[in-house]
Amino acid sequence: MSPDIHIFDTPEDTARAVAELILVKAKEKNKSSLPLNIAISGGSTPKLLFTILASDFSESIPWHFIRIFWVDERCVPPTHPESNFGMTFNSLLKNVPIHEANIFRIQGENDPQTEAFRYQTLLERELPIKNGFPQFDLILLGMGDDGHTASIFPNDMSLLHSHLSVSVGVHPVTGQNRITLTGKTINQAQQVVFLVTGDSKADVLKEIRHHKSSSAKFPASFMHSNNEQVEFYIDKAASKGL
Ligand code: 6PG
């Protein structure tokens, strides 16, 4: 199924649209007194989203109904400048009334294989299971200019088909270990949304959108939700060529 693409003028407009989506979904779950189980990505793109959530949505979103998990984490301590948790804490978590018990940090300081198993066990305890994999309500993904997503890189496509829910990825340039959700876990989510901005991502997005065969080298092109849909929230710069 071709991706559903939402295009906005600026990175700020794009991030704000994703913030509004989170607000709507949280309120929907709130009506049934159920938590919103959301897995978020790291990197630089979501930092703007987190800043907007903290500044403009701290009172409108029912934060006590939000349970935050991570799509992936670098194998570094939470205080390390490359920590996804550290970035999220500083830009969002310390600024909103989310319960600490509802923050499920991947412990990047642990041994990678041990942590992958711990986090997998936690997900299987905390989330409903769909087709043998933990199911999130919403997964927010980013995409690298090499077409990676989560910490599933083009040189390790096996993570797309792993029978594990969580595994260890390795950054192809730095060799840094990463803890990551696997492709099958991501694709079981109720909703999968990419937040992608900037002209460095335009070529990959164009291939994913128009060239199914040549885009098979990009892990991002294999992502979809449980009902096969996937949505891209992108800015004009990233939409060049669509
Ligand atoms: C990470 C992310 C990763 C990210 C892409 C895009 O831990 O880095 O989970 O998948 O989404 O690398 O990163 P940018 O937003 O920095 O371009």
Phi, psi (rounded to 5 degrees) for 167: -145, -175
C-alpha 223/C-alpha 143 separation (Å) is 11
Q: Is position 172 within any domain?
A: yes
pLDDT one-digit tens code per residue, 17-31: 999 999 999 999 999
Q: Does a structural domain hold residue 166?
A: yes
Write the DSSP symbol of residue 199: G
Q: Assign 90 to helix, strand or coil.
A: helix
Residue nearest to atom 10 of ligand 1 (CA): 150
Range of the domain at 153: 9-62+72-179
- Give yes or no for residue 55 CB within 6 A of ligand 1: no
What is the value of pTM for the model shown? 0.97
Q: Is 42 touching ligand 1 by the criterion CB < 6 Å? A: yes
How many domains, in total, are found in the chain? 1
- CA-142 nearest atom, ligand 1: 11
Looking at the DSSP assignment, which residues form a beta bridge with residue 169?
178
Report if residue 86 sits inside a domain. yes
Distance 33 CA to ligand 1 centre (A): 32
Q: pLDDT tens digits for 131-163?
A: 999 999 999 999 999 999 999 999 999 999 999
**Structural domain includes residue 119:** yes
Residue 115 lies in a domain: yes
Does 185 reside within a domain?
no
Q: Which tokens is 211 given? A: 């060239």
Positive or negative, the Cα torsion across 110, 132, 142, 33?
negative
The answer to whether position 125 is within a domain reads yes
* pLDDT, tens digit, 9 for 90 and up, residues 96-125: 999 999 999 999 999 999 999 999 999 999
- Interval 48-78: pLDDT, tens: 999 999 999 999 999 999 999 999 999 999 9
Tokens of residue 224, six digits: 């979809």
Which residue, by CA, sits nearest to atom 11 of ligand 1? Answer: 142
Tell me: pLDDT of 1 over 60: no
CB 75 within 8 A of CB 83: no
CATH code (residue 159): 3.40.50.1360
On whether residue 14 sits in a domain, the answer given is: yes
Ligand 1 centroid distance, CA of 195 (Å): 10
